[in-house]
A and B are shown apart, each in its own frame.
Chain A
Amino acid sequence: MNPYRRSPLIIASTILVFFFLYAPIIVLILFSFNASRISPLFTGIITKFGPYKLVNENVLQSPCGPFHWFCDLTKNTEVLSAARNTLIVAFTATIISTVVGTMAALALQRYNFRLRTFSQISLYIPIVIPEVVMGITILVMFSQLFTYLNTSLHLAGDSQLSLGLWTVILAHISFMIPFVTLVVQARLQGLDKSYEEAAMDLGANEWTTFRRVTFPMILPGVLAGALLAFTLSIDDFVITFFTNGPGSATLPIYVFGLLRRVITPQLNALSTVWILIVLIAVSLTQRFESRQK
């Protein structure tokens, strides 16, 4: 019997589900090449290169040819500033949460201390409660804190405390730490303690043991944790939504704001770029993982 033989029913439903998964993505990409500026119908791609020419809301020719909306995107200062915010938040929050989360994983896996159970439980909370609840509780804390400090310190105008990039970064760090800890802890669990014990027996102190033995062995776990944290940060909508202030919108927040007002092919161009980045990132991660095996 061929173990790879499957019933036609399974094959047919697999194809249907893949179609369901990819139809929206294909639509997004297709419309980023649409010639029409406003039409929800696909009116054909822009074929001619040349100075920008618009007839009946149809782009006839553009210096970028079919990539007109992509060029247009790079001139949109709001998008650029949102992209910059997204990267600032992601890099800062990833570095801090990776360091803090790795320390926590080491503590929980290698040491015994009084607050151990409490720490482990508190790390599970952000994973099990709905994201919207976490966003709301952080918003409630910041707004109550700001109201209190602004009135008691008589702050006014620009010196008033308010939501901004720094509140987004703090919130991101807090929801990313548990994920980093979880990934690094899993790696530490699979690690034979005898290497560390041998290093100690041979006279290495704790720091040297960590630097020369433990850290190189958990490095793949730390990198995987950092990658997960970075992805979660770039992708996050809900927590950023409740913690961002004027001028600190990230890309998902910007897109959401736009969707409530107006829809342009620029948005499709942005989506296409995003999908392309995901495509590259996922294939790199997969290659990295299969090398680890």
Chain B
Amino acid sequence: MLKRLRENKSAQGTLLIVPTLIFMIGMLIIPLLLTLVVSFGQRSADGGVIYTFSLNNYIRLLGFTTDCPSGVKTCFTSLYMEILWRSLVLGFNTTALDILLAFPLAYFIARARPKWRDTLMFLVLVPMWTNFVIRVYAWMMILRDQGVINSLLGWLAGLIHVPFKPLDMLYTPGAVLVGMVYEFLPFMILPIYTSLEKIDNSLYEAAADLGASPFRTFLRVTLPLSMPGVVAGTILVFVPVMGTFIVSDLLGGSQVILIGNLIENQFLSARDPAFGSAVSLVLMALTIIVTYFYTRKFGFGGEIVA
């Protein structure tokens, strides 16, 4: 038996992959299929699941509901569509702002003297690896009514003798946007830096020798060659923003409900796992569709991600 295994390369390969397959099937594929089955079910009185086959949860997500004023059988609410739309818009805004902030920084580091590059990258990696929840806490301290910004403004107002009313910053959509931009900025800097660092200096020299202005060099050399990094960064930022619920929980209060919050609520407070499952699968489908069309249009920054 052992001798046969020794000679059979295919059996050896299978043996090596089996533990991984056990985890991937048991903890990934079966859960996904089960979630699909549950999403066709119904909420039971005690917050469990009754297995049926109905598309009710998906229809409910589209906004059609049977919970209407008297006399009407079905009616429409835009509540869930607004949540989906808000999440998509926030995803786009966060990604766009992160590209805007990450590009000059990545460019600066990529063009710095080699001995400085490691130090500068170190400065990017430290905030990146500091825990996500802790970084949200920092923004709570900065933005709250008696937080850092308001105390600084109050102090300034005191200096010039102007009455000061604290600004409402925490628990607003703006706070959520700032938090998201901050949390995911390093994931945009890294891939853009990687693609910019690969650009050979001689390309810049050639462009300059041929009489291109710095602006033209940027448009015709730097920007096109950095596209793989921008694409990879966009995926690394957009996908997680769509599903994140802590930032909106802690910085948005109840003001900003995103898809992630909707899912979280169904499992923890509303106790409707069937509806929650349907929303999760729609979120997964949305991110896969957006990523697919985006990478098909701009190419996949695979060499950067790996």
- A interface residues (Cβ-Cβ under 8 A, vs B): 1, 3-4, 6-7, 9-11, 13-14, 17-18, 20-25, 27-28, 31, 39-42, 99-101, 103-104, 106-108, 110-116, 119, 122-123, 125-126, 128-134, 136-141, 143-144, 147, 170-171, 173-174, 177, 181-182, 186, 205-206, 231, 235, 237-238, 242, 251-252, 255-256, 259-260, 263, 267, 270-271, 274-275, 278-279, 281-283, 286, 290
Contact = CB atoms under 8 A, between A and B. Distances in A.
Contacts of B24: 119, 122-123, 125, 174, 177
Most buried by B among A31, A116, A139: A139
Contacts of B127: 21-22, 24-25
Given A205-B6, A282-B129, A18 B123 contact: yes
B280 A113 contact: no
A132 B182 contact: no
A100 B20 contact: yes
B21 A137 contact: no
A275 B9 CA distance: 47
A20 to B, nearest CB: 7
Interface residues of B, number: 94
Contact of B122 (A138, A206, A255, A286): A286
Contacts of B130: 25, 271, 274-275, 278
A256 B124 CA distance: 24
Given A3-B204, A137-B34, A147-B48, A286 B17 contact: no
B280 A137 contact: yes
Given A122-B25, A136-B280, 18 more contacts: A4-B112, A14-B108, A17-B105, A20-B182, A40-B146, A100-B20, A111-B9, A113-B10, A116-B13, A116-B17, A128-B239, A134-B28, A136-B267, A138-B31, A143-B273, A174-B28, A259-B133, A271-B130
Contacts of B32: 137
A206 B6 contact: yes
Contacts of A259: 133, 136-137, 140, 250
A125 B13 contact: no
B92 to A, nearest CB: 16
A144 B34 contact: yes
A100 B24 CA distance: 11
Interface stretch (B60-68, B69-77, B223-231, B281-289): B281-289
Nearest to A189: B306
A115 B104 contact: no
Nearest to B118: A286
B175 interface: no
B21 A122 contact: yes
B34 A141 contact: yes
B142 A129 contact: no
Contacts of B111: 3-4, 6
B151 interface: yes
A27 B118 contact: no
Contact of B16 (A111, A136, A251, A274): A111
A-B complex: 4 closest residue pairs judged by Cβ atoms: A111-B13, A130-B243, A24-B138, A107-B16
B38 interface: yes
Contacts of A113: 10-11, 13-14, 17
B39 to A, nearest CB: 9
Nearest to B150: A40
Nearest to B135: A24
A20 B105 CA distance: 12
B23 A255 contact: no
